[in-house]
Amino acid sequence: MKSLRALIAAGAVVTAFAAAQNPVSPKCKVDLAFNRYYDYGEIVATMKKIADAHPGLVTLESIGKSWEGRDLWVAVVASRQGTPLERRPAMWIDANVHGNEVQGSEVCLYTLWYLTENYPRNEKVRELLDRAVLYVLPSQNPDGRDWWFHGPNTPNSSRSGKAPIDDDRDGVADEDPPNDLDGDGSITSMRKKVEKGGTHVPDPDDPRLLRPARPDQVGTYVVLGLEGIDDDGDGQINEDGPGGYDMNRNWPSDWQPNYIQGGAGAYPLSHPECRAIADFILAHGNIAALQSFHNAGGMILRGPGAQSFGDYPGDDVEVYDRIGRTGEEMIPFYRYLVIWKDLYTVRGGFVTWGYEGLGIFSLTNELWTTPQYTGKPDGQTDLARLKWDDRVELGEKFVEWKPFRHPLFGDVEIGGWKKDTNRVPPTFMLEELCHRNMAFTLYHASEMPKLEWDPPEVAEVSPGLWRVRVEIRNARTIPTRSAIAIQKKIGTPDRLSILPKGCKVLSGGRRVGPFGREKVEHVEHHPERLLLEGGVRGHASVRAEWLLSCPAGRPEFGLRFEADKGGLLER
Amino acid sequence: LAQALRAVFASLALVAPLAAQVTPRDVDLTALTAAAETRKAAITVVEVMKSAAGAPVNAMLVGIAGQVPVAARPRLLVVAGLEPDHAGGILVAARLASDIVELAAGDEKLRAVLERCSVEIIPCLAVDGVAAAQASGLVQPARTDTRPVDDDRDGVADEDGAEDLNGDGVVTEMRVKDPLGEWRVSEDDPRLMVRADRAKGEVGSWRLEPEGVDDDGDGRINEDPKGGVDFDRNFPHGWKEFDRRTGTSPCSEVETRALVDHVLATRNVAAVLVLGHRDSLVETPPAMKAANPAPDGLETEDRPLFEAVSEKFRKRTGFERKSEDKPDGAFHQWAYFQQGLPAFAAKVFEPPKPPQPASLPSGKKAESDDAKRLVDSDTRLGGKGFVDWKPFQHPVLGAVEIGGFVPLADVNPTAERVPEISRAFAQFVFDLLEMLPRATLQDVSARPLGGGLHEITAVVRNEGRFPTVLRIGTRTRAVLPSRIVVDLPVEAFELGERRTLLEPLGAAGQGRKLRWIVRAGAGTTAPVRLWTEKAGEAAADVTFTEPK
């Protein structure tokens, strides 16, 4: 009887244990839903929850404040054992520089959540967080984000931050924004049915849509633009809304003033958000990879941002291509593209600064593209989208036209797409977007340099004279120094040092040349500390050799290899 | 070793003879705006920013009480001391305010100018750099701020600066006997070193090195001195990336960013004059060839105006020497190319043309720059522009000779010349102020049309030598459109608008006639106000009458 009870109790324990360790759906320390979007306050609260639950993996650091005073919280993700974080290769991940391009922040949250929950379980996650560090800033533009969530907007508005700009150059800033006339939280469109002077007719397939009247048709509608009135009485409507700049044109490389590059800002890094981020990145020379999430269009973008730059060095293009094409395979309907060639010219962009100014392999994923919705490459017309909205989202995203008495136009109709459509996925598809883009970003991170070496070869070449040879290998695709960093002399060259005890370093240098016939490039000054401008290429190695005078016999020495973006080896 | 040497020579430097020209040691950082103390009615001191080290950077705002408050008038901004070693510019700028006030006191026309315009003078932007140059106790080029920068990219910043080995307070050069040397002693003057022209079979036997030791043992001497970023290469137009002296971005430095923010916030800054190493006044910069994407030269329409300013400048200063300097990232370039302002750079000194020696031993005239510089030192500076070569036992190189030109003796004036230079610049400042655009409102009147309607007409005219907006300002859209407001309710307007934005007005009496038809009661009046960003403001009242 007793033993039966013991057996039952033991069984209960086993069952309970099995429940806690359900191998198919392990219990999470932090439960988080990815079928919804998070405003700034919720993002910060979620980051804190994750950091509190995983103190050994995540710390939070406010790197500055936005124009309206919101903290820019960066999550520093890495295991805290082993090499100090600042000596590890690092990846910078951010999102939402354009306030309306929101879902990248959810990708960042998902990444934090996934990495922390899976660190104990997944070997690849563990390998990455043990050897590297991720700096994750879910929103570059928290003011724009919060305004998009809580203010009346369209899918495209609130791209800017909130510092007032006098868009219409009349001496007053932000005095004629769009107005949420029907009070539904979205800025939709205005149209007016007219007897005469119409330019549009209802689409025969769906009268909620208008299309231009044919030459043989009489127009029955005029299109009046976005919901709004002429607040400042200058005869124009909605021409001076909140903000009015583009923080993704405010970075130093190929920055050009507003009249050349719209939205550029007063000077590079003039916005407090950009300044804070640049200060952080400049202070972290270990950042070797960078991803900055935007929406939309399903793209994996690299520079150049302008044709005038010319081409990126071939060696770097090969690395980029390897990463970008892998991304195309990992995320259906995404295309790997070059910004100026395939999208448009961007001067003073963030990822172009990352690569062209700092030598970091930098990418922007433009998240979400309608074919993901339909599962087919076509279907991006408004008509098709309306059908999908009616059927799959139960009509949630389209505001039916309703009459409104406008102070200037008289009787009009207001209606159209809500702000959380077109550029952001329907929430039921958000989690997939988050996971695939995170997986691609972790792949990008995993290709950051991983340095390895074997014990050095030590040989006595004549009495008291010893030769030491060492080889440093990079086991991943990204080099310790990009070709552009070498070309433009960005950062500090890699350093290979020998620290002998009781011996004198007579000479030293890199071993170069064809296999089996290597020669030593002796350096004249400081042979004990070799500066390696060329770094270590991906899946390649550098070799070096020293001659030591060691009268006391076999030399004792330390070795150190330091690469700003490749980490530290010491023995 | 280097430290020991520095300690020894630091004490020597205190008793070493001063250079002939003014140096940072002549700058009293606590008295840069002292001119304001004796002329309180016309000069006020404003703190423009705090430097990176937290020191105040002050400006003097100069103007005589008039209709518009001094702070709101069209303003000429004068900035000096972008480079710490340009002591001449700093000292001239510090004096300039008093000279401007004095000139105005003695001349009714100039007084009127100073009643409607103002001049803001920032005598020294690089206050931290000047303090550092003073602390070094050495005469040497010092164009940068004090931010540690790893010039030689070896992972350590600021570890190999100059040493004053011979203790004369001046960092000159070392000549070292070297079988592979590229230099030889000139036959014209044994003090001069000339590069051996191998194509002519000349043989070199000397190597030239800067005075100092190789502190970090990398084979190079003085290649990573203290500091820093050169302010006048840190502004957004033409900024050169990947040069360690230009900063990590335009406006990366506290002071350059604050100066730009100051100009952006002070919308009435109508022109800029920089006193420093650069010149755009002796020789007018070239006209634009292309705008790809930014213009590479002055707008064709603007250039004649710049030539007119240049002519005045040359007349006032007598300067003739053209500049070889490339103004990439310079403050005045930003002010013109991005802010659309008339903006100029001036040196405050150039050595007089030396008397030509009848003949040199080689039979040639002293044509090379070095030969002229030597003559200038021997004549004007009594030999103080050159340190004669003297043997020195270098701790590493062994027997060397130390000597050569005293840095900046041909850039900075001697102290006694500063007052007359300041006077000439004060006159030039008035030349410039008189040319600035000045918008006026004339012939403002109303005519009754009957039925309660009135026609208002007004003429807006620019009295200045410059248009209200330069061509470049129109291109960059950096200058806000002028506007004229007839202060009646919006509903009162039958023709025209309450507020009219104006296209730029051309120079020298060009303008526009404006017309409105409004509904107004007889016997009432309405203010008509003209606002311009850079060319002043004007207002007049119109009174509406009964039809006759």
Q: Which residues of B touch A235 (CB under 8 A)?
A: 497
Q: Which residues of A touch B217 (CB under 8 A)?
A: 525-526
Distance (Å, whole) CA A222 – CA A298: 33
A171 touches chain B (CB under 8 A): yes
> In which order are the strands placed within the sheet that holds A494-501?
A529-532, A494-501, A556-563, A567-570
Q: Which residues of A touch B531 (CB under 8 A)?
A: 171
B486 touches chain A (CB under 8 A): no
Identify the CA nearest to B334 among candidates B236, B472, B245, B246: B236
> What rounded mean pLDDT belongs to chain A?
94
- The one-letter amino acid code at A536 reads V
Q: Is B248 in contact with A252 (Cβ distance < 8 A)?
A: yes
Write out pLDDT tens, residues B355-366.
Answer: 665 456 666 666
CA distances from A129 to A79, A113, A126, A289, A337 (A): 5, 13, 5, 15, 29
Say what the pLDDT of residue A154 is.
96
Q: Is B248 in contact with A268 (Cβ distance < 8 A)?
A: no
Q: Is A267 in contact with B150 (Cβ distance < 8 A)?
A: no
Band of pLDDT at residue B80, cut at 50, 70 and 90: very high
Say what the pLDDT of residue B346 is.
98
> Which residues are paired to B79 by β-bridges?
B122, B274
Q: Is B218 in contact with A525 (Cβ distance < 8 A)?
A: yes
Write out pLDDT tens, residues B32-59.
Answer: 999 999 999 999 999 999 999 999 999 9
Say what the pLDDT of residue B13 is.
43
Q: Is A495 in contact with B155 (Cβ distance < 8 A)?
A: yes
Q: Is A357 in contact with B219 (Cβ distance < 8 A)?
A: no
Residue with token string 């960005």: A490
Band of pLDDT at residue B509, cut at 50, 70 and 90: very high
> Nearest C-alpha of chain A: how many angstroms from B150?
9
Residue with token string 């007349």: B315
Distance (Å, whole) CA B33 – CA B91: 10
Mean pLDDT across the stretch B129-150? 95
Band of pLDDT at residue B16, cut at 50, 70 and 90: very low
Q: Is B257 in contact with A267 (Cβ distance < 8 A)?
A: yes
Distance (Å, whole) CA B89 – CA B77: 14
Residue with token string 């051309």: B506
Identify the CA nearest to A424 among candidates A499, A347, A474, A368: A368
A304 touches chain B (CB under 8 A): no
Say what the pLDDT of residue A195 is.
94
In terms of DSSP bridges, do strands A71-77 and A90-95 run parallel, antiparallel, or are they unpaired?
unpaired
Residues with Cβ < 8 Å from A17, sequence gap 6 or more?
A: none
User: Residues 499-558, chain A: which have Cβ within 8 Å of B?
Assistant: 524-526, 531
> Nearest C-alpha of chain A: how many angstroms from B473?
10
Closest Cβ opposite residue A169 in set B154, B481, B490:
B481
Q: Which residues of A touch B293 (CB under 8 A)?
A: 256, 260-261, 308, 347
Band of pLDDT at residue B353, cut at 50, 70 and 90: confident
Identify the CA nearest to A481 among candidates A436, A536, A528, A404: A536
Q: Label residues B23-46 b or e (16+ Cβ within 10 Å = b).
A: bbbbbebeebbbbbeebeebbbbe
> Nearest C-alpha of chain A: how many angstroms from B338?
7
> Nearest C-alpha of chain A: how many angstroms from B236?
7
- The one-letter amino acid code at A490 reads I
The residue of chain A nearest to residue B242, with distances taken between CA atoms, is A488
The residue of chain B nearest to residue A484, with distances taken between CA atoms, is B242
Distance (Å, whole) CA A337 – CA A352: 13
Band of pLDDT at residue B369, cut at 50, 70 and 90: confident
Chain B interface, best mutation among A234, A259, A275, A307, by max B CB count within 10 A: A259
Q: Is residue B506 predicted with pLDDT exceeding 50? A: yes
A166 touches chain B (CB under 8 A): yes
Residues with Cβ < 8 Å from A501, sequence gap 6 or more?
A: A555, A556, A557, A558
Q: Is residue B17 predicted with pLDDT exceeding 50? A: no
> Which residues are paired to A541 by β-bridges?
A473
- Residue A396: strand, helix, or coil: coil
Q: Is residue B14 predicted with pLDDT exceeding 50? A: no
The residue of chain A nearest to residue B263, with distances taken between CA atoms, is A266
Count of beta carbons in the 10 Å neighbourhood of residue B382: 9
Closest Cβ opposite residue A256 in set B219, B261, B293:
B293
> Nearest C-alpha of chain B: how many angstroms from A260?
7
> What rounded mean pLDDT belongs to chain B?
93
- The one-letter amino acid code at A141 reads N
B491 touches chain A (CB under 8 A): no
Does the reported pTM lie above 0.80?
A: yes
Q: Which residues of B touch A267 (CB under 8 A)?
A: 236, 250-251, 257, 260
Q: Which residues of A touch B477 (CB under 8 A)?
A: 169, 258-259
- The one-letter amino acid code at A438 reads M
Mean pLDDT across the stretch B83-112? 97
Q: Is B241 in contact with A488 (Cβ distance < 8 A)?
A: yes
Mean pLDDT across the stretch B216-234? 96
Mean pLDDT across the stretch B197-212? 95
Please state the φ and ψ torsions of residue A68, each to the nearest 5 degrees.
-85, 5
Query: What string of pLDDT tens digits covers the 571 residues of chain A?
Result: 455 565 555 545 444 444 456 778 888 999 999 999 999 999 999 999 999 999 999 999 999 999 999 999 999 999 999 999 999 999 999 999 999 999 999 999 999 999 999 999 999 999 999 999 999 999 999 999 999 999 999 999 999 999 999 999 999 999 999 999 999 889 999 999 999 999 999 999 999 999 999 999 999 999 999 999 999 988 899 999 999 999 999 999 999 999 999 999 999 999 999 999 999 999 999 999 999 999 999 999 999 999 999 999 999 999 999 999 999 999 999 999 999 999 999 999 999 999 999 999 999 999 999 888 888 887 678 898 899 899 999 999 999 999 999 999 999 999 999 999 999 999 999 999 999 999 999 999 999 999 999 999 999 999 999 999 999 999 999 999 999 999 999 999 999 999 999 999 999 999 999 988 999 999 999 999 999 999 999 999 999 999 999 999 999 999 999 999 999 999 9
B396 touches chain A (CB under 8 A): no
> Nearest C-alpha of chain A: how many angstroms from B7?
26
Count of beta carbons in the 10 Å neighbourhood of residue A115: 25
The residue of chain B nearest to residue A281, with distances taken between CA atoms, is B248
Say what the pLDDT of residue B2 is.
53
